[in-house]
Amino acid sequence: MEKKKVAILGSTGSIGTQALEVIEEHADKFQVEVLTANRNADLLIEQALKFKPNAVVIVDESRFQEVSEKLWEHDIKTFAGEDAVAQVAAMQETDIVLTALVGYAGLLPTIKAIEAGKDIALANKETLVVAGELITKLAAQYGVNIYPVDSEHGAIFQCLAGEFNNKIEKIYLTASGGPFRGKKREELRHVKKEQALKHPNWDMGAKITIDSATLMNKGLEVIEAKWLFNLKPEQIDVIVHPQSIIHSIVQFEDGSMKAQMGLPDMKHPIQYALSYPFRYSSKSERFNFLDYPQLTFEQPDKETFKNLALAYEALEKGGNMACVLNAANEVAVEAFLNDRIGFLDIAEINQACMEQIPFIATPRYEDYVQTNSETRRLANSLIQK
């Protein structure tokens, strides 16, 4: 069997580095074709020298010369800038594109990869949050498969193996509850970013860790699940499961339920997305039931953690509303990480943008671009006040 050629967009982030560990463990199955990074030129160079891709992209153009000089004698093509990421995503030699970029930046490269007929291993949930209808139509048009990398959606995907002709009654996306599970609004008013960045179970990047603390990450996953699995909002439920052992559950119309379980380890869903329909061996730690004599479940607190309620509202309304929510949240989270706003202000800014940005019922790609820009301007103006 020929090696599967993989492009990793965002190779220096949490998902990208773990994907390279998976590829290294199965070097007889995978070959790295493309690596891209935003600003971390040093790690990109290290990865490129180790995995010898065909091409790399450094988005930060000020680091281009440095990367190029280190890699040219190894016959590794070097490009720079955001446009180059979208271009290499469509490279002819690639079999599958892992989109591990953070936020809205993943949308255009994913579109270009789909239009080039590349299968997608989707870690960038914002792509479907912002433009789910557009992306799913393009995937159908070009005959492209989208394999979910999020642990929750990867779990649903695994539970559906062999069940594609059976009707889903409901899915349950599990949430750890983050570092502030059980807290009330007044207790969260003065929390600092250092507290919010201490996730109890998962080791992730800063943006997704803050989203987990506000439950926005779960809200984005609800919207993503609608498009991945063709579900209605009332078919998607969220349940807090602090141990993070059950990664999600599918309930079928006969009442039967399937759950996918395992220790919290992102390399599992990454590997399955890259290897599907095959399961390859893994050296990861095995789950032991005796270490977890109790698995517990709770309802999420949508009043304290308003972002989850806002996500359901955006999903119900449709159109460009999820794009508004995502753009506002990206700006607000960055402001929180820079100590410009408080923890509770994130949801307030998101809600204000949803109320003020014009609604577009049937957006085109250009409308998503405009909505994203307008929302970011509004969110920044609200922060400056």
- Whether residue 363 lies inside any domain: the answer is yes
- Whether residue 136 lies inside any domain: the answer is yes
- Whether residue 58 lies inside any domain: the answer is yes
Alpha-carbon gap, residue 48 to 55, rounded angstroms: 9
pLDDT at 65 over 90: yes
Closest CA to 101 of 210, 205, 222: 205
- Whether residue 284 lies inside any domain: the answer is no
The pLDDT-based confidence of 382 (bands split at 50, 70, 90) is very high
* Final residue before a domain boundary, out of 148, 169, 199: 148
Instruction: Report the domain count for the chain.
Output: 2
Size of the chain in residues: 385
Alpha-carbon gap, residue 302 to 229, rounded angstroms: 24
* Final residue before a domain boundary, out of 85, 120, 148: 148
Closest CA to 84 of 128, 37, 45, 43: 37
The pLDDT-based confidence of 1 (bands split at 50, 70, 90) is confident
What does the pLDDT look like over 216-272, one tens digit per residue? 999 999 999 999 999 999 999 999 999 999 999 999 999 999 999 999 999 999 999
pLDDT value of position 103: 83
Domain coverage including residue 103: 4-148
Residues with Cβ < 8 Å from 293, sequence gap 6 or more?
none
Alpha-carbon gap, residue 47 to 132, rounded angstroms: 32
What does the pLDDT look like over 140-189, one tens digit per residue? 999 999 999 999 999 999 999 999 899 999 999 999 998 899 999 999 99
Helix (H, G, I), strand (E, B) or coil at 123: coil
* CA R_g for the chain: 20
* Final residue before a domain boundary, out of 132, 148, 164: 148
Task: Judge contact between 284 and 336, C-beta under 8 A.
Answer: no
Class of residue 201 by CB neighbours under 10 A (exposed 0-12, middle 13-18, buried 19+): middle
pLDDT value of position 373: 97
Token pair listed for 241: 């499961």
CATH code for position 113: 3.40.50.720
Token pair listed for 275: 């290897």
Report the predicted TM-score, pTM, of the whole model to 2 decimal places. 0.92
Alpha-carbon gap, residue 357 to 319, rounded angstroms: 12
pLDDT at 13 over 90: yes
- Whether residue 14 lies inside any domain: the answer is yes
3-state helix, strand, coil in the chain (%, to 5): 50, 15, 35
What does the pLDDT look like over 86-142, one tens digit per residue? 999 999 999 999 999 988 889 999 999 999 999 999 999 889 999 999 999 999 999
Mean pLDDT of all residues in 3-15: 96
pLDDT value of position 164: 84
pLDDT value of position 105: 87
- Whether residue 23 lies inside any domain: the answer is yes
- Whether residue 95 lies inside any domain: the answer is yes
Q: Where are the alpha helices (DSSP H) in 92-182?
A: 107-115, 126-142, 151-159
pLDDT at 203 over 80: no
Closest CA to 132 of 118, 146, 152, 150: 146
- Whether residue 97 lies inside any domain: the answer is yes
Query: What is the layout of strands, in order, in the sheet containing 96-99?
Result: 77-80, 55-58, 30-37, 4-9, 96-99, 119-122, 146-148
pLDDT value of position 385: 67
CATH code for position 338: 1.10.1740.10
Alpha-carbon gap, residue 36 to 12, rounded angstroms: 8
pLDDT at 32 over 90: yes
